[in-house]
Amino acid sequence: MKSNIVVPALGESVMEARIAHWLKKEGDKIEVGDAVVELETEKVNVDVTAEIAGVLTKIMAHEEDTVHIGDAMGEIDGQATNGDERKVKGEETAQRQEVEANEAVEEHDKMRKYEGHKQEVEDQGSTTRASERATPVAKKVAEETGLKLSEVLGSGTGGRVTKHDVESFLESKKTEGTEREIETRKQAAGEGGNGKREIVRASHKPTIAEKGGHEERAKLSLRRKTIARRMLEAQQTTAMLTTFNEIDMSHAMEIRKKYKEQFKKKYGIGLGIVSFFVKASIAALKEFPRLNAEIDGDEIVYKHYYDIGIAIGAEEGLVVPVLRNADAMSFAEIEAGIKSFADRSQSGTLTLEDLRGGTFTITNGGVFGSLMSTPILNPPQVGILGLHKIAERPVAENGQIVVKPMMYVALTYDHRIVDGRESVQFLVKVRELVEDPAAMLLE
């Protein structure tokens, strides 16, 4: 019995994917539930698992190919055995591998003439293993720059090589090359020798093209293309306006300082700032329900549930996983949910269900040091709250100048259904609750 490996349903509005990496090769024995191929979608990377046990007899779509829901990517023969199938496919596989190796060598020679086929063959094993533990973006950058991933030490989960690791390695190599060039020039000029100097003629200054250039090209990931498309759509299809306020974070920070050890001991999680704003935002949304609504044609859809999106800056682009029914969650549950999202965004294990829906979004640019910004809506939502860096600033209080930890907050809203009065009052409500956290117990 043979079964095709097909592109599964990928979630709400996701119609296509790109093959990021085959986790098995032709001739490999497959068990039910084994991850066979990794797909890159516009939201997350998805592992496609085997539905039957057998042998992977054919790969129909290859890495970097774009596939659609229902497309056949490969074939599993449930009646073949690993040994038999390898024997039958041995000659064909060897021929194909030889062709692929020759093509790789030719391309490699064009880009890096100083590297030979012999070195490539010797390094093939370690490079393959390194490739398996690298993120899709890291692999693309390595391929485009001719870098062997086996040379790069990974800093991600389980030693996974990230884009940052590859870029840091390339930068260190560039620095080493520059230092060697300076030393060579010094020696040629007679510095540090017997005091004699040779005349060094000014040589032709190589152009950027001759030096290999300081430019590089990388294919946009599906996620980055989707982010770009959605940002443009938000600008073009909504009437975005942003209003600002500032919040005295003294009381919230005092509570964190007073209870952080007790909180962590009891719940196993730290008490952060975002959970205060999740609680305050939900209370404000209940008072100003249009900010928790959406436009559908000529109707306003009011949502009497509170699924709060938490924007997280992942390596391959911004993701917004959703805290479901956040109004029923405790501070500890909110903090645990946010930490889980952050950890899984870094390891690439967020699911499409994690990202589905959402009625209102909170984004915290303060973790990157942002003092003020204007967040962009995440349609069809009509409101997004931007948090920023907490900074000590002089403020007037009871006729005196005092220094307090202050935060600027920004609310971007769709002016088609939310008025300026509502948006300002919403932020005032959030400010009042965060400045007096005990008041949230009454909400």
Pick the CATH number of 2-111 from 2.40.50.100, 2.40.50.140, 3.40.50.150, 2.40.37.20: 2.40.50.100
Indicate the residue type of 76.
I
Mean pLDDT, rounded, for 383-390: 97
| Contact assessment for residue 56 and residue 36, using Cβ atoms and an 8 Å cutoff | yes
The position carrying tokens 């300026």 is: 420
Q: What is the mean pLDDT of the chain?
A: 81
pLDDT tens-digit map of 109-163? 555 554 544 455 445 545 555 555 677 777 877 887 878 777 777 766 566 777 7
What is the rounded radius of gyration, in angstroms, for the C-alpha atoms of the chain?
Answer: 28
- Is 28 among the residues known to form the active site? no
Is residue 302 predicted with pLDDT exceeding 90?
yes
Is residue 425 predicted with pLDDT exceeding 70?
yes
Higher pLDDT, 295 or 68: 295
According to the model, what pLDDT value does residue 117 have? 45
Residue 348: pLDDT band by 50, 70, 90 thresholds?
confident
Is residue 323 predicted with pLDDT exceeding 90?
yes
Q: What is the DSSP string of 248-290?
A: E-HHHHHHHHHHHHHHHHHHSS---SHHHHHHHHHHHHHHSGG
Is residue 442 predicted with pLDDT exceeding 80?
no
DSSP 403: E
Work out the percent of the chain whose per-residue pLDDT is above 70.
Answer: 76
CA gap 424, 357 in Å, rounded: 25
Is residue 14 predicted with pLDDT exceeding 60?
yes
pLDDT tens-digit map of 157-206? 566 777 777 787 887 777 666 556 556 555 555 544 444 444 344 445 55
| Contact assessment for residue 208 and residue 214, using Cβ atoms and an 8 Å cutoff | yes
pTM as predicted: 0.62
| Contact assessment for residue 391 and residue 406, using Cβ atoms and an 8 Å cutoff | yes
User: Nearest Cα to 303, choosing from 359, 362, 378?
Assistant: 359
> Domain 222-442, what architecture?
2-Layer Sandwich (3.30)
Q: For residue 308, with 0-12 CB atoms within 10 Å meaning exposed, 13-18 middle and 19 or more buried, which class applies?
A: buried
Active-site residue among 108, 117, 164, 415?
Answer: 415
According to the model, what pLDDT value does residue 201 have? 40
According to the model, what pLDDT value does residue 121 have? 43
Q: For 127-219, CATH number?
A: 4.10.320.10
pLDDT tens-digit map of 38-84? 888 766 778 888 888 889 988 988 888 888 888 889 999 887 655 55
pLDDT tens-digit map of 84-97? 545 445 555 555 66
Is residue 258 predicted with pLDDT exceeding 80?
yes
Domains 127-219 and 222-442 share a fold: no
Enumerate the domain spans of the chain: 2-111, 127-219, 222-442
- Is 21 among the residues known to form the active site? no
Residue 331: pLDDT band by 50, 70, 90 thresholds?
very high
Helix 163-188 and helix 136-145, axial crossing angle in degrees, nearest 10: 30
DSSP 8: P
Active-site residue among 65, 84, 343, 419?
Answer: 419
Q: What is the DSSP string of 190-252?
A: TTTSSS-----PPPPPPPTTTTT-S----PPPHHHHHHHHHHHHHHHHS-EEEEEEEEE-HHH
What the block records as the tokens of 440 is 């949230």
Is residue 250 predicted with pLDDT exceeding 50?
yes
